[in-house]
Amino acid sequence: MSLYKKKPYQTDFPSDFDKSVTTIITRIEDNSRVIGIMFFRHNFPQICTVPLIVSQTLSSKLPSLTSLFQTAIKEITDEINKINPMVDRMMEDDSVEGVIMTNKEGVPILTNTNLVAATNYGIGMRNLGQMAQISAQEIDPFDEVLILRIITKKIEVMVAPRQEFAIVVMQHARTNKKNAKLMEDKMNANNK
């Protein structure tokens, strides 16, 4: 059994690989830190330059892992596609300042605000959503946070934290006229 990587020959490459692809593969292959490459098509290895013992293990394990990965991506995509019409409706609402859909790391994947603000809100709300989720489960292990609502002087933020993504909706803070008048009177009294 060979413990060394094999060199791919030009004839080993599939016919649909053009010169630039074969050049890239050869350049990757020449890197001393690369053990070898494997190219699968329809769950069968087409090119294999890894040592034989490694290729046997990978050939049997990778197709099933790839299948699981593809299934997970499909499930996540299906869930996001269910949510998308709601996000589109929210984006069209005049009272809504911004809508951000983030991945599980808090990175924006869909937004109608600028990217810097979306990233800041996404990461911040992800962390807050996780803390709220943990707190809710400490109180009742069978409960979960569906929507988190934060109201500041300037803005109202609603977050729907999920395992694989989160939706953040921002709008101008709606103040009750009665409460606004009381707050204004208190501020004026404090200034005197």
- 104 to 75, 109, 119, 168: CA distances (angstroms): 14, 10, 12, 13
46 and 73 part of one domain: no
75 and 148 part of one domain: yes
111 and 134 part of one domain: yes
Q: Is residue 184 part of a domain?
A: no
* Cβ atoms within 10 Å, residue 81: 9
pLDDT computed for residue 64 by the predictor: 67
pTM for this predicted structure: 0.49
| β-pair partners for 45 | 40
| Residues spanned by the domain of 94 | 67-172
74 and 166 part of one domain: yes
- Give how many domains the chain has, as a whole number: 2
Task: Tell me the C-alpha distance between 138 and 143, whole Å.
Answer: 9
Answer with the residue of higher pLDDT: 49 or 182: 49
Q: pLDDT per residue over 93-113, tens digit each?
A: 777 888 888 888 888 888 888
